[in-house]
Structure 1
């Protein structure tokens, strides 16, 4: 198995750390049948990659075996953000039949956390993600890991996330506060529903808790310090 070293930015204050622990708790209470979770957003830049990885990292802290898959085959930010300098085989190698699963899974310097990087940008991402190799990948990893967290491209831009969600047990939508319209979020939600995947909830990201009304609505006390909360979980019925 390949091994990579991840350099994790130390940029979370107490409020943000608590938010991720709350998100982790909500995921754990979704039930044992929820094993593979697709994370998407409406548009680029809403923070889905950060949220999905931090969720995987938080779940790994509970001594569960976690696999994080960066399935954004078009525009991944993972290697740059976490300073991965090694050249490794990735998801596009496996989906195109060039490598076996064991050759693309990477151990990391974080206990209980394995990752699959996206690999080279292919000419046909949607077709690769919809092929038999991806279905086999999900079947094999279901048996090996307690949770599989999959970072997917924004569903408002390309269809890849819906293709991936079809093979998952649940999906989560990351929404940037005050950046996405209600209609846009509903449109993306309907696309996820058409995939047949259960929508677990939404994460409201980049919330300025200094704004009026947020101190009581979100999970944190104003005494914890900092100006921004990173995650706020909503159940599906609250998105309607």
Structure 2
């Protein structure tokens, strides 16, 4: 079983760390039956992979046994970001029958966190995710891990996320601020509802926390009042 050194996808400042802790708490408050949770977005580049992965790290750091599944078989962000070499097999290799699951799961330097990368780009990603092997895998992981976090492609681009949603307990939609319009997001939510998967909520991502912005003023006033001064750090 290969080991991958995991670092935060970006350096998180105080506010971002607090935001992930809040997201983690909200997920946990959804109930013990919410174990398999998928993340998607309306369009590419809204940050769903960063959000879902950092949540998985946060859950593992809290003592939960977590496995992160990269089910974006068409265009994985994590494979490129971590420069995963071809020697490490992924979800595609398992679903196509090329490798056993124990050959595609990776341990990490974060206690309690396991990762399955997407693997090579297949010619039939939707069919692979819809087959019985993936369904059986999700059922097996449910009995082994406290949380199964699944990153999926954008709903507005392909049907993969809708297929995965049918096998999950809950879904979270990541929305980038000022990137997509309200009606388009509503359309994706309606598509999610059709899968019968419970929508746990949405995450507003890539918010400008500069001091002169609406959110910057809110965070500045709130945290300045209750927690003292803080550094702006990186935007999330």
Alignment of 1:114-129 (within 5 A): 114-129=114-129
Is the counterpart of residue 67 in structure 1 residue 67 in structure 2? yes
Deviation of the 1:83 alpha carbon:
4.3
How does the TM-score come out when normalised to structure 1? Answer: 0.90
CA RMSD, aligned part only? 1.9
Deviation of the 1:208 alpha carbon:
1.1
Deviation of the 1:9 alpha carbon:
4.7
Deviation of the 1:224 alpha carbon:
2.5
Deviation of the 1:38 alpha carbon:
0.4
**1:73–1:125: 8 Å Cα contact kept in structure 2?**
yes
How does the TM-score come out when normalised to structure 2? Answer: 0.91
Q: How many residue pairs get matched? A: 230
Equivalents in 2 of 1:23, 1:108: separation in Å? 22
The gaps in structure 1 that reach 5 residues or longer are: 231-240
Deviation of the 1:227 alpha carbon:
6.8
Alignment of 1:102-121 (within 5 A): 102-121=102-121
Equivalents in 2 of 1:199, 1:218: separation in Å? 31
Secondary structure at the counterpart of residue 200 of structure 1:
strand
Secondary structure at the counterpart of residue 203 of structure 1:
strand
Is the counterpart of residue 216 in structure 1 residue 218 in structure 2? yes
Alignment of 1:65-214 (within 5 A): 65-85=65-85, 87-210=87-210, 211-214=212-215
Residues 7, 217 of structure 1: alpha-carbon distance in 2 compared, 3 angstrom cutoff: closer
Secondary structure at the counterpart of residue 171 of structure 1:
strand
Equivalents in 2 of 1:45, 1:219: separation in Å? 30
Residues 83, 111 of structure 1: alpha-carbon distance in 2 compared, 3 angstrom cutoff: farther
Residues 166, 194 of structure 1: alpha-carbon distance in 2 compared, 3 angstrom cutoff: same
The gaps in structure 2 that reach 5 residues or longer are: none
Secondary structure at the counterpart of residue 127 of structure 2:
helix
